[in-house]
Amino acid sequence: MSDYQGKRFKDFLKANKISIVDAAKRLNVSRSAMYDFFNSKNMTRETVQKISDIFGISEMEMFFGKETFDSWVKIASNKDVGAIEGLSDSVPDTVKEAEDLIKRKVFSKSSAKNLPVNAKAIPGLTYPQEANDTPFIDLGNGDYLMLMPLVNEYAYAGYLAGFADPEYIEELPKHSIIVQKRHKGHYLGFEGVGDSMDDGTKQSIPDGSIVTGREINTNYWKSKFHTHRYKDYVIVSKDDGIIIKRIIDHDVENGIITCHSLNPDKITYPDFKVDLRDVKQIFNIVNVSSPR
């Protein structure tokens, strides 16, 4: 994983309204060097340390995002932290240090569960898609922290226009779950909105839940979806936007899926059909993290 992506440095400058000229002066480098930084997929340790020192921000916060950094702060304040004497109040400054600390049990497994994650394993996945760059942190004992972009309620409106733009995806907040191996594929988190998928049972996806979805490549839309194994899906269509539904039928020949809401109020939430020609993305839901 490329921890030190130059784009994150560029985003930091933009968010803090620091011009390229000013940043170049503070770092004592040329403007050309600044653009080299921005285009770098893995900046050198020396450059990263210099940026951190000059701008007074931890590497963890700049290159892993504030939400992840805040999660580490939360862990560090937990009473279970401190398996290594003298490091109980430690918050990692670098991505590597974060990984090293958790491997060395500074952050115990019980502490790690205080992250905003659902510690259930993802079952084996069968769609043979290519691997992507989904980042993982090795927690030890066969557990991995899997990080992915999160499309929350406020991002719904812009996602349809931006889902194909890597920069847009990069700027989304992050969601994380604990898994037992490095899964291949393209994963995103989506916030459940409304009560259409809530029937009061354990299968519900209540309002405010975060679902983890694995994208089904369009090449596999011509084969029947594995609805016996993965019942619920995130569907991104040009007409309906982002919807979370159960697929109860897949007419492969005509490219039509029938969507079902778990809510028993069928006057408000009737079943309906969606033409796959109008669909941009489909994700099978492999994990649900529900609010309490």
* Extended beta strands in 114-215, E state: 136-140, 143-151, 174-179, 187-191, 210-215
pLDDT at 248 over 80: yes
Which domains does the chain show, CATH number per domain?
A: 1-57 (1.10.260), 64-115 (no CATH), 136-289 (2.10.109.10)
Task: Produce one character per residue of 85-101: b if its CB has 16 or more CB atoms within 10 Å, e if not.
Answer: eeeeebbbbbbebbbeb
**pTM of structure:** 0.59
Residue 138: both structure tokens together: 């090795």
Which of 15, 117, 142 has its CA nearest to residue 66? 15
Q: What are the start-end ranges of the E strands in the chain?
A: 136-140, 143-151, 174-179, 187-191, 210-215, 232-237, 241-251, 256-260, 272-275, 279-289
β partners of residue 143? 140
The pLDDT tens digits of the residues spanning 164-211 come to 888 888 888 888 888 888 888 889 999 999 999 999 999 999 999 999
**What's the half-sphere exposure (Cβ side, CA atoms, 13 Å) at 72?**
24
Cβ 68 vs Cβ 60: under 8 Å: yes
Can you say how many angstroms the Cα of residue 218 is from the centroid of all Cα atoms in its chain? 21
For 111, phi then psi, to 5°, come to -70, -40
Count of C-beta atoms within a 10 Å radius of residue 110:
11
pLDDT at 266 > cutoff 80: yes
Alpha-carbon distance of 118 to 205, in angstroms, equals: 14
pLDDT in tens, 253-263: 999 999 999 99
Over residues 122-139, mean pLDDT = 50
pLDDT at 61: 66
Place of tokens 């697929």: 247
The residue that leads in pLDDT, 118 or 209, is 209
How confident is the model at residue 200, as a pLDDT? 92
Rounded CA separation 184/125 (Å):
9
Q: Per-residue pLDDT for 1 more than 60?
A: no
Q: What is the mean pLDDT of residues 94-104?
A: 51
The 10s digit of each residue's pLDDT in 17-74 is 888 889 999 999 888 888 888 888 777 878 888 888 888 877 666 766 655 555 555 5
Predicted confidence band of residue 108 (pLDDT cuts 50, 70, 90):
very low
How much is the pLDDT for 292? Answer: 63
pLDDT value for 117 = 39
What is the widest separation between alpha-carbon atoms in the chain? 66
CB atoms within 10 A of CB 227: 16
Position with higher pLDDT, 127 vs 207: 207
Here the tokens at position 118 are 């659902």
What is the C-alpha separation between 136 and 182, in angstroms, rounded?
A: 7
Q: Given a cut of 70, is residue 89 above it in pLDDT?
A: no
Quote the CA–CA distance of 37 and 213 in Å, as a whole number. 33
Residue of 137 and 249 predicted with greater confidence: 249
